[in-house]
Amino acid sequence: MFVSLLAVVAAVGLVAVVARVFTKWGRGADDEHHDGTTSKHTGAMLSALFLLAFAIAIVVPWTTADAARQNTHTESEAVVGAYWAAAELPAPAGPQVQAGLRDYVHFVIGTEWGVMKHGRLSDTGWSRLDSLRTEVVRLRTTDNQVEDARTTLLTQFQAISEARSQRALDAKARPPVALLYLTVLTGLATVIFPFIVGARPRGMTMIPLGVMAALLGFGVYLTFDISHVFDGGLQVKPDAFHAAQQEFQRIPASR
C-alpha cells in the first residue's frame, strides 16, 4: 500500500516539476480550454486506463470460471470411475464404498456448494473422502481381480483428492481488490472528467453522457458480480455432479 501511494505521489510530483520547468523555459502556450490539448490527452488516457482495468477484471474471472467448471467435470468423472471400481469389490466393502460415494456427491451438491460461495470447502467433505479411502486401504484380499479393482479405486481416490484440492483453490480465487477499485475510480473519473475541465453539457449533450455513465456503472457492477467463480453471473453450478448421480443409476451394484 505504501509503495502504491509513493508511486502516486511521485507521478503527481513529476507533473508539477515538468510544468514548472517548461514554464520557466518559456516553452509552449497556456492551455485553459476544456477542448485543449491537455484535456484531450488526459481524457484519452483516462478512457484507456479504465478499459485496461475493466478488461482485466472481466477476463480473469471468466478464464478462472472456465477452468473451475472443467475441474468439476474432472472430479465427477473420477468419482464415477471409483464407483465402477467399487462394483468389483466383495461385500461388505463394495456396497459401503458405493454408498459412501453417493453420499459424498449428495453432500457436495446439497451442502458444500453453498459453502464455496464463502471461499472455502467444508472439512466434512474431506473427512468423508478420507474415511472411504482408509476403508479401501485396509481391505485385504488374495483375489487378483479384487486386488486390481482395489488398486484402481485407490488411483481414482487420488484423482478425486487432487481435483477437490483444485476446487478449494478455485473457491478462493478472486481478482485483486485493488484492480476492482481501480475500475471504480477510473470509471468515475471518466464520467466527471468533462465537468472537471470546465465543460458544461446542456440539452441533448446530456443524453450521450448519461448513457455512457449508465453503461460504465453497469460494467463496474459486472466486475464485482462475476469476481467469484461459485457465485454471481458466471457461477459454476454442480451440473457435473448431477451427471454423476445419473451415472450411478446405470452402474451395477457391488455384490
Tell whether 5 is covered by a domain. no
pLDDT of residue 12: 47
Environment class of 250 (CB within 10 Å of its CB; exposed 0-12, middle 13-18, buried 19+): exposed
Tell whether 43 is covered by a domain. no
Tell whether 167 is covered by a domain. yes
User: How far is it, in rounded angstroms, from Cα 121 to Cα 170?
Assistant: 10
pLDDT of residue 186: 87
Helices (H), 88-205: 93-107, 113-115, 123-137, 144-172, 177-196
Tell whether 176 is covered by a domain. yes
What kind and span of H or E run contains 18? Answer: helix 2-25
What is the tally of structural domains in the chain? Answer: 1
User: How far is it, in rounded angstroms, from Cα 219 to Cα 63?
Assistant: 18
Cell representation of residue 82: 471409483
What kind and span of H or E run contains 231? Answer: none
What DSSP character marks residue 132?
Answer: H
User: How far is it, in rounded angstroms, from Cα 223 to Cα 233?
Assistant: 10
User: How far is it, in rounded angstroms, from Cα 72 to Cα 239?
Assistant: 8
Containing domain of residue 190, as a range?
48-248
Tell whether 63 is covered by a domain. yes
Question: Can you give the pLDDT of all 255 residues of the chain as single tens digits?
Answer: 555 455 445 544 544 554 455 456 555 555 455 555 666 657 787 888 888 888 999 998 999 999 999 999 999 999 999 999 988 888 888 889 999 999 999 999 999 999 998 889 999 999 999 999 988 888 877 778 888 888 999 999 999 999 999 999 999 988 888 888 888 888 888 888 777 777 677 778 788 878 888 888 898 899 999 888 998 888 999 999 999 999 999 888 765
Tell whether 90 is covered by a domain. yes
pLDDT of residue 242: 95
Tell whether 14 is covered by a domain. no
Tell whether 99 is covered by a domain. yes
pTM: 0.79
Are 203 and 153 spatial neighbours (Cβ–Cβ below 8 Å)? no
Environment class of 112 (CB within 10 Å of its CB; exposed 0-12, middle 13-18, buried 19+): buried
User: How far is it, in rounded angstroms, from Cα 82 to Cα 76?
Assistant: 10
pLDDT of residue 74: 96
Nearest to 83 by CA among 140, 121, 136: 136
